[in-house]
Amino acid sequence: MKRNLNRWPLWLAAVLALLCAFSLWRLWAVSNLLTSQQAAERWRGEGTEGFAQMSCFMPPVAQLTLDDAYKFRNDMAQKLKGAGYDLDNLKSLYHDAWSTFRTVKVSNGRNSGDVQAIAVGGDFFDFHPLRLVSGSYIRPDDVMDDRVLLDKETAWLLFGAVDVAGLSFSLNGTPFVAAGVYEREKDVFSKTAYGDAMTIYMSFSAFQRLNSTDSALVDKGMESINTIACYELIMAEPVRGFVYSSVTDKFPVKNTMFAENTYRFDLDRLFRLFSNRISRSMLPSALAIPYWENAARAAEDRAVLWLVLAVVSGSFPVILLLYTAVRSAVRGKRKLETELLPGAKTRSREFLRARSRRRWEKKHPGEY
């Protein structure tokens, strides 16, 4: 019984080591779950050039226009030029997209409902590669900007089907055409952040045109609804921190919240989040945060929990291993001093005496 009791630390260490390994695996899984946070990695592909992805979220009173976004893009180009990059290849060094949000009414004459419209510009779906059920994405080079991407729920509401590309409907009474249907993300964070609201994606230019004809918005003076709420970018990064310092230095809107998507699940940042877990939940101002950023923040919180669990569960096995190593070293030292060294010293003295005697006998033959 005593022998079994002496083994309980080993059993506990084994269980905690397995828990630590499981926590590290879950941490890795959560950190690599959201495709919206991996745009820089996809953009780099198999190349060796370093890239970083950032997101900028504007407060509601701010007005970031398309002209501001284009000027900011030029400012970033100058930053890249100063870092030694060739601007003739700017498209491969800088990639951006933007979006804003508003609730609109969809109708096809028979069925109607309120949906959230996400107006997008740039290469938005390179940052957010939603899974298509039918049809295609909307793109900046589309000849017409009246194509709209529907989620499955909106498609079923309007048409009772998902193969609806080319079918007509209206947004706030203005005619549009279905480009295709997408499926919502399946991960728990996106599903929770997405909620139950039906959502469509439309071009930013069509969104502005739609709002310009809405007399209610015009009467209320809501010009800011036509401006950018979320700006995202991928940029070449020769050294870590280059993109963040460049963006925060030149971004034209004050009180903007910046997110370093590429590094948000790095261990050092997760440890900082844990130490600042109270203030992290308190945003400095009311921000129009899209669902994919709320999903990423929830994933960060979950990653922090798995990291803490991994550290706590892994501490005892590591301490026990160090204790065992130190104890073995001390025992080995004692055995060396009490058993091996005395015998070695005796044998060494005998060897030296025998060698000295042989030398003396060789120099004085016949005297012994």
Q: What pLDDT was estimated at residue 314?
A: 85
Q: Does 18 share its domain with 135?
A: no
Q: Does 8 share its domain with 50?
A: no
Whole-model pTM: value is: 0.82
Q: Does 149 share its domain with 246?
A: yes
Q: Does 247 share its domain with 340?
A: no
- Domain containing residue 154: 37-264
pLDDT more than 90, % of the chain: 55
| 244 φ, ψ (degrees, to nearest 5) | -60, -45
Q: What pLDDT was estimated at residue 330?
A: 63
Q: Does 21 share its domain with 48?
A: no
Question: pLDDT of 321-341, one tens digit each?
Answer: 777 777 666 665 566 556 555
Q: Does 311 share its domain with 190?
A: no
Q: Does 97 share its domain with 59?
A: yes
Number of domains in the chain: 2
Work out the average pLDDT over 240-260. Answer: 93
Say yes or no to pLDDT of 24 above 90.
yes
Q: Does 241 share its domain with 317?
A: no
Indicate whether 288 belongs to any domain.
no
Instruction: HSE, CB side, 13 Å, CA atoms: give it for residue 207.
Output: 26
Calculate Rg over the CA atoms of the chain: 33
Indicate the residue among 264, 289, 315 that finishes a domain: 264
Work out the average pLDDT over 39-57. Answer: 91
Q: Does 198 share its domain with 128?
A: yes
Q: Does 151 share its domain with 251?
A: yes
Indicate whether 296 belongs to any domain.
no
Indicate the residue among 203, 235, 264 that finishes a domain: 264
Indicate whether 62 belongs to any domain.
yes
How is the chain split among helix, strand and coil, in percent rounded to 5? 55, 20, 25
Q: Spell out the SS3 assignment of 202-267.
A: EEHHHHHHHHHCCHHHHHHCCHHHHCECEEEEEEECCCCCHHHHHHHHHCCCCCCEEEEHHHCCCH
Indicate whether 293 belongs to any domain.
no
Question: pLDDT of 153-212, one tens digit each?
Answer: 999 999 999 999 999 999 999 999 999 999 999 999 998 988 888 999 999 999 988 887
Tell me the average pLDDT of the chain: 85
Indicate whether 290 belongs to any domain.
no
Q: Does 47 share its domain with 3?
A: no
d(Cα 333, Cα 338) in Å, to the nearest integer? 9
Question: pLDDT of 89-126, one tens digit each?
Answer: 888 899 999 999 999 999 998 899 999 999 999 999 99
